[in-house]
């Protein structure tokens, strides 16, 4: 999509601190990190949220936990613990409408999943 921020990052039209790339997935550092490790993992193809998956994007997205585990190990938080989550829609606070998963770690993240 022309005006989608994460599509622009996937096309390399705007820069990001990339930490992983394959044919269908991309991971980069969140620009406003909320933890010492805060990465975003996205399918390169545009899809607004988990409610809009096509079979092709679903197949790529199904590999995200595996990629997240590899990145967590590389970032040194495999043993200390990490969280993988996706905000979908307004009540979840989604602010970029291209499907993405946050990988957070490097400090105690708290027990609450919502306020």
Count Cβ atoms below 10 Å from residue 64 Cβ, excluding itself.
Answer: 20
Is residue 61 a contact partner of residue 26, using CB atoms and an 8 Å limit?
no
Which single residue is written with the structure tokens 């039209």?
13
Answer whether 103's CB lies under 8 Å from 9's CB: no
Which range of residues in 29-37, 46-54, 64-72, 76-84 is near ligand AMP by CB under 6 A?
Answer: 29-37
**Which of ligand AMP, Zn ion, none is residue 93 near (CB under 5 to 8 Å by kind)?**
ligand AMP
With CB under 6 A as the contact rule, the residue among 4, 45, 78, 94 that binds ligand AMP is 94
Tokens of 13: 């039209």
47 touches 57 (CB < 8 A) = yes
What is the closest distance, in whole angstroms, from the C-beta atom of residue 40 to ligand AMP in the complex?
6
Q: 20 phi and psi, to 5 degrees?
A: -160, 145
90 forms part of the interface with ligand AMP (CB under 6 A)? no
100 is catalytic: yes
Active-site residues, by number, are 100
Q: Which residues bind Zn ion (CB under 5 A)?
A: 1, 4, 6-7, 46, 98
Q: Which residues bind ligand AMP (CB under 6 A)?
A: 5, 16, 28, 30-32, 40, 87, 93-96
């Amino acid at each position: 999509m022309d005006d989608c921020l994460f599509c622009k990052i996937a096309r390399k039209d705007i820069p990001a601190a990339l930490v992983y790339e394959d044919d269908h997935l991309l991971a980069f550092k969140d620009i406003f990190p909320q933890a010492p490790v805060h990465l975003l993992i996205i399918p390169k193809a545009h899809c607004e949220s988990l409610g809009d998956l096509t079979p092709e994007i679903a197949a790529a997205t199904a590999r995200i936990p595996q990629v997240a585990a590899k990145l967590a190990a590389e970032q040194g938080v495999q043993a200390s613990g990490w969280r993988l989550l996706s905000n979908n829609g307004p009540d979840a606070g989604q602010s970029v409408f291209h499907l993405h998963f946050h990988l957070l770690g490097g400090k105690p993240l708290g027990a609450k999943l919502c306020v």
